Chain A
Amino acid sequence: MYKYDAYDHALVRERIDEFRDQVERRLDGRLTEDQFKPLRLMNGVYLQLHAYMLRVAIPYGTVNAPQLRTLAHIARKYDKGYGHFTTRTNIQYNWPALVDIPDILEDLAKVEMHAIQTSGNCIRNVTADPFAGAAADEIEDSRPWAEIIRQWSTFHPEFTFLPRKFKIAVNGATSDRAGIQVHDIGLQIVKNAAGETGFEVWVGGGQGRTPRLGQKIRDFLQPEDLLSYLTAILRVYNQHGRRDNLYKARIKILVEALGAEEFGRQTEEEWAEIREGELKLPAEEIARIRAFFGAPSVSDPQPVSTSGKPGFTGWLRRNRRDHKVAGLSSVVISLKPVGGTPGDITDDQLDIVADIAERLGFDEARATPDQNLVLPHVRNEDLETVWDRLVEAGLATANAGLATDIVSCPGLDYCNLANARSIPIAQAISNLVDSEGLAEPVGDVTIKIDGCINACGHHHVAHIGVLGVDKRGEEFYQITLGGAFGTDASIGGIVGKGLAGDDVPGAVVRVLKTYLDIRDENERFIDTLRRVGPDAFKESIYAAA
């Protein structure tokens, strides 16, 4: 894992001192709210429905035990005993007082964490495959590249006031688990014909009110050219991206307006001017960053085994993933107990995950775009002990990738932008799917819920998406079908008129039952849906509504 150097420490330290002064000036009236708002947003502080919300960055989703313990401490001391993991692999606190936030940032800094660039029209937290450095299908570890991008983009003076926020994802495996086609820039690590490793470059993906899949503008980028090429893309966007209309300001609108080919041409033209300059990455610097991200080694690899405890086998089947190192596995810690709030975790649970990661997980955990956690490296002989500890903590739900593993934005229960509630819908679907015993028979399916069109809950790229809308004070929910995040990404389509909230769980369950009725043998939900089309499910959605 990357360790701060003196420069990183000083940079974060200076920002905390600056923000503490800004908070003091706001509290004593020297700053108005209009003056203070952009300053607090630059430090991840939002004002939501009930309270301030603090969004803490987790670079490429990676945390260690001391960091998890600090996150627990913050939840316990400054919040209501829990935190909330987001689809961008950050953690949010829903209840901090403004007066406490400088102290919270001090605590975070002690474990090399901060809230910088978790808001604002800048380059946000870089995301990566949550199984990076561990996945059996990995081409190359994406974390060193995400870290290089993090360092380059932090406080980048040219890209601090972009037309809109900007999100970059890096994926280093054959399966895309970072969602490169739904980011402003997606980087896919590939090997060329000569066996060299480099990047495919995708631009213009995004969700929100105008969902678009990214388009590839370069088949192969040499690694040492990464930062100059990103700079070229950002310069084209910064110059031509629309600042006159908030809803047309993302790079996806520009790429669509210009066409990917022309956007790529302009990028290449700009790149030609700078590629041989100071942004060329020295091999020794790449090696220095890579050295922080070594893979664990196992001297006496053991196979996966089970003593036959009820529940453990099922958890292994759903939540374990193959590791590239013999004798190791990765496991998903589901933050989706049946009927729970997706992504929520208590202070005590954070401490327990810290203990497990430290003792049995090579001191590392990951946050995922599905609002779960991952222990990337666990010795196979320790899997049952890990499961025992997770059972005690209420974190052993064996539902990774199932219909109860629902993604949800905070919705109208917390968010100032939301039009409708989303968490209660997720809870009701989870409860009904569970009571009908459908999760295991259905198998792999993604259900994602949003309380507004900003789509923080990624409903556009869910097999079954739910979007809450407000119609004259009443909540309605549009159902979308056929979206997919990651490999074979697609944008779901709206199937028809909105449903009342009470009708949504039943509609989702009927969709799942329809799948069970019409699927071919060993066919996943999304494959059946793509084979037969959404109309085959439409009748079931509206059957009893």
Chain B
Amino acid sequence: MKAITANRLTDGRVIYRTAEGQWSTDLTEAERLEGETAEDRLVQAEAEFGIAVGPYLIDIEADRPGGQKWRRESIRLAGPTTGSTHELA
């Protein structure tokens, strides 16, 4: 299973493409895609200007980022794993 992700143009935040062709920051709202449909939807997303930057397909397993890029996509979804000095101070 796959989904389409990108960064939001205005602020760079991580977004996912919904079945309605909208964009959401919530992965659970992302359209689940397979096979040629996934490629077709990506072509559509790439042709849309104004909201998303650099759309691409990610693997989804058990409603979470999967595949070899699972860690990168999990960090994009949930934020840095480290906290910051801001939180320590």
Contacts and interface: CB of A to CB of B under 8 A. Distances in A.
Contacts, number: 91
Interface residues of B, number: 29
B80 interface: yes
Interface stretch (A312-320, A334-342, A454-462, A485-493): A334-342
Chain A, interface size category, equals: 35 or more
B84 to A, nearest CB: 5
B75 A344 contact: no
Interface string B45-85: 00001100110000000000001111110011001111111
A426 B85 CA distance: 13
Interface stretch (B5-13, B16-24, B28-36): B5-13
Interface of B: 7, 9-14, 49-50, 53-54, 67-72, 75-76, 79-86, 88-89
B72 A412 contact: yes
A414 B54 CA distance: 17
Contacts of A421: 71, 75, 81-82
A19 interface: no
A48 to B, nearest CB: 7
B10 A97 contact: yes
B13 A50 contact: yes
B54 A51 contact: no
Closest 4 CB pairs of A and B: A97-B11, A344-B85, A413-B80, A51-B12
B64 to A, nearest CB: 13
Contact of A47 (B7, B49, B67): B7
Given A29-B49, A345-B85, A49 B72 contact: yes
B14 A50 contact: yes
A66 interface: no
Contacts of A335: 85
Nearest to A472: B68
B88 A340 contact: yes
Contact of A98 (B10, B49, B50, B80): B10
Contacts of B68: 470, 472-473
Contacts of A97: 10-12
A33 interface: yes
Given A47-B7, A49-B76, A98 B85 contact: no
